[in-house]
Amino acid sequence: MKPTTRFGLVRHGITAWNEEKRAQGHTNNELNEQGLRQAELVARRLSQARWDYVYSSDLRRARQTAETIASALGIDEISYDERLRELHGGRIEGTTLDERIAAWGEGWRELELGTEGAEAGAARGAACLQELADRHAGANVLVISHGAVLRHTLKRLVEGIDAEQLLGNTSVTELIRDTEGWRCSLYNCTAHLSDAPEC
């Protein structure tokens, strides 16, 4: 019988490229001033509950978010895992949609531009979470990662989930693994960024 393991999935804070709508992929961008503030706000929210472990993508924008959260929680150790990185963008990294159309035409998505597919990202993300659920059975685990890889990982793990809505920066999603499998109890909540009621 599997004990219940609770995950808090957090997308990193905003960056300059997020604001400019540039594909980031594995580019090692840092949070901008707003992103740092978002990280502080989500850290304050998460500090109201008990968390046992913090795992993060090793890309800088996720690391900064994770460091802010771990500091607020009083957790000294953050474990970094490359499987939590965003989907690799290949040749489109650093470009906007208009720039991609200008360079490769309207059908740019059909070209071989070195991008990592959603299935590949979902496979590594799901493998990571499965491993963490087994390693930390019964614990509360925070995972700081990226929008696309988190959404596709959720689709892989949770049957029938509606994860089409893009994840907001520092959004909180709660994922449960128990004897019945995987379920999502909260998706894409950013109430901590406004005066809105808690999700």
- Identity at 20, one-letter amino acid code: E
136 is known to lie in a ligand binding site: no
The active-site residue out of 12, 146, 152, 192 is 12
Known binding residue 14? Answer is yes
**Is 26 labeled as catalytic in the residue annotation?**
no
> Is 18 annotated among the ligand-binding residues?
yes
**188 assigned ligand-binding residue:** no
Q: Is 15 annotated as a binding residue?
A: yes
- The rounded distance, in Å, linking the Cα atoms of 143 and 156 is 17
Per the annotation, does 161 bind a ligand? no
Q: Catalytic pick from 26, 40, 86, 93? A: 86
Active-site residue flag, 86? yes
Distance CA 105, CA 9 (A): 35
- 60 marked among binding-site residues: no
Residue numbers belonging to the annotated binding site for substrate: 11-18, 61
Residue numbers belonging to the annotated binding site: 11-18, 61
Residues with catalytic function: 12, 86
